[in-house]
Structure 1
Amino acid sequence: MGGFGGWFARLFGGRAVADARAHAELAEARLRDAIDAIPEGVVFLDAEGRYVLWNRRYAEIYHRSADLFRPGARLIDTLRVGVARGDYPDAVGREEAWLAAREAKLATATGERHEQQVADGRWLMIEERRTSDGGVIGLRVDITELKRQAEALEQALAHAEAAHRAKAEFLADMSHELRTPLNGVTGLAQALDATELDPGQRALVSDIRAAARQLDRLVSGLLDYGDADLAADAVHTAPDRPLRVLAADDNPTNRKVLELMLQAAGVQVVTVENGHEAVEAWRVGGFDAVLMDLRMPVIDGLAAIRAIRTEETASGRPRTPTVVLSANTSPADRAASAAAGADGHIAKPIRVEALFAALDAALSPQAAQAL
């Protein structure tokens, strides 16, 4: 097309292309801003495992390797350089095996979570899933504080158990050390009382036996007080009607934290790592309550709760109180939990008092079903 018409078409065609390019650049900028606003590290890879996009937090988490990040670079290659630099303590001495295992997880990218320690001592939770175009979206969450809490809980539990044992041993030793000579005094007084004594001597023996009985009452009272103190300790760690709780969470650190929190209070806990295992364990029975994570592989938490509620209705089994444990606590998330049949919904990271308050509320006969 020539002349004015051709010029007109070229002019407006060029503007259309420019407008489309401007819109695309604006959309990309908004996408980057949105991704940078996410508090966790996020990375997008193509189908070949090459970097496409990552946010600011991802670069901060892997600051020792951030100089290697560029579009088109393979993540496994940056890991290989990081291993050579000593960025991953778990890889030391088994570098190739570590890289092979990491590459295998990246190739499957099923959403299964695993942990990774970096050189500065921090612990990361890694989750990677396939996108619709065959690429991978990866999530990195710093769980260092959660690991620290788990270790502190474990140490506190060990110290409490050690103190309880020491107290029990002390009382046993005291009982032996006090009652043995007291038994001797009482026995000798009885033997002496059976001999020929003048009235004055018999009065002295009677006074000795009376004093021994008083001393026996004092010793018994002291030891009974100590035993009651031990029993009070036991109530804190092992209630009279012990609860049995099923806890489902695919993150091993989260499971460890739950075990420590519950076991410290004398609760028997069984842990599983996905919704399918949770339903199967519940079917076996014997659980007083269920703690359910939401984002899990195979079957997520909401689907698992719905399956349990459906089977309860169909079989006539009693309703098992269920509390959701999740980092997602918006009104919509709570409503989804309630709709699935949960009796409570508490936020991660989990606080001991919040966990037991939610369990108490769910186990109460008057527990409200609305969250």
Structure 2
Amino acid sequence: TAFVKPRSTLQEHTIGRHHQATNGDMLLLLRTFLGEQRASQLLEFFAASERGMKITEAMREDVAKREFIDFVERSLSGVLGAATARSLVEAALRDRRLHLEEVVHFFDDTTQALQTQQSILFSSLENLAQGISVVDAELRLVAWNKRYLDLFEYPEGMVKPGQPIATLIRYNAERGECGPGEIDELVAKRLNYMQMGSPHRFIRRRGDGRVIEMVGNPLPNGGF
């Protein structure tokens, strides 16, 4: 396991107000900072996690709903950091298209580099035989590969950008994936390793006889 949030204060301060930001504005942010391919993947996850709330090109000019705005902010924060993601989304909600495009162009060189890094990251993850997940310094899920999903068989919609890793750890602990013991203690133990930036390794035998080795390695700028 390599290591992405509680709901930010953005909603309380901004989304409650009247705004005219559209789905197209939100799509512009996703595609600019994460790339076309990753944005498409995220939209599929959004549709699955929000009970079929699918965002299509025909809906570009519709006013963005709170759920989609929240999702976009979480997705961006995994790459840009929470403060930058919040500022970009606030710009879209406050100033609409003219100022938003100015902000996007201002970050143009940075976004090109980010897209390249994201593309390399996700391609690399999918080519690995092991199940891999990446978590940021705030212990929120940033990235994962298909093998990771196949291995742990999480419920549909549980694995998504910005999901607190504690939620996934608890789910695994409740199914016996973390060994014997009190659920809260098992979860706290693993979160403590991550918060301290401590490498860790667990080996577990599943009920079906398979043996799983779980390894956590800290990243240079926080996270695992």
- TM-score surpassing 0.5? no
User: Per chain length, whose mean CA-contact separation is higher, i.e. which structure has more relative contact order (CA < 8 Å, sep 6+)?
Assistant: 2
* TM-score of Structure 1 vs Structure 2, range by shorter chain: 0.3 to 0.5
Question: What TM-score results when the alignment is normalised by the length of structure 1?
Answer: 0.28
Question: What TM-score results when the alignment is normalised by the length of structure 2?
Answer: 0.44
Higher strand share: 1
Task: Determine which structure has more spread, i.e. the larger CA radius of gyration.
Answer: 1
